[in-house]
Amino acid sequence: MAHKLWKKEYHALLNTLQQQWNAEISTPKLPDRNVPRAVASSYFFYPRLLADMDTRRIVLSLNEVPAGKEVPETGEEDEYLHFTVVGEFPATFIVTHENFLSRLKKFLRIDHEFQTGNRQFDDDYYLIAYSDAAKAKLREPSLQGAIRSLEPFVAIELREKTIELSRGVATASDLQPEPLEQTFKNLIAIAELLS
């Protein structure tokens, strides 16, 4: 479990973005006093930034696990920024990077990865597509380019109501406000491609 290495910087980031983006900070209600302190201090109860950008509702949060199903094998990041765009999406999928574990699962036939037919894209990313609609969208060169524009990321997860990107926090510079707006704009562009 993470040690909340970036708590001070994260709160400063939220305060800055609240002013710049005319956003609101939402803090989930804390549990009652009988809940263990470790649970009460978990990221579930961390504040989130809520804003509207380019006609889309966006959410920025910090968590100890990335979107998708797996924690990356690098282990370098203890915390992850989650960029979320709200919408209605006809397909669901997860995009992560190819790594030793994903290749081992494929070799052992434990997991089945979707292949788009674009060898370079398929070699770089591990794709889990949950429907034919998701497979068709992932084959589109425009979506593949848009996914690449979001680098660096740990995972992108598309659900019926949200698209979420996770980016590791390794240094304090990862919590600077300047690049975050462009990340959201790129994620919104993907949301538009998928709507």
Instruction: Kindly report, residue by residue over 145-171, the tens digit of the pLDDT.
Output: 999 999 998 889 998 899 999 998 888
State the number of CA atoms in the 13 A half-sphere of 22 facing the CB. 3
Query: What is the per-residue pLDDT across 5-54, written as a single tens digit (0 to 9) for each?
Result: 678 889 999 999 999 999 999 987 765 656 555 554 555 668 899 999 98
Query: What is the per-residue pLDDT across 74-84, written as a single tens digit (0 to 9) for each?
Result: 555 578 899 99
CA distance 51 to 170: 25
What percentage of residues in the chain have a pLDDT greater than 70? 83
pTM: 0.84
Of 103 and 24, the structure prediction assigns the larger pLDDT to 24
How confident is the prediction for the chain on average, in pLDDT?
83
Over residues 84-98, the mean pLDDT reads 89
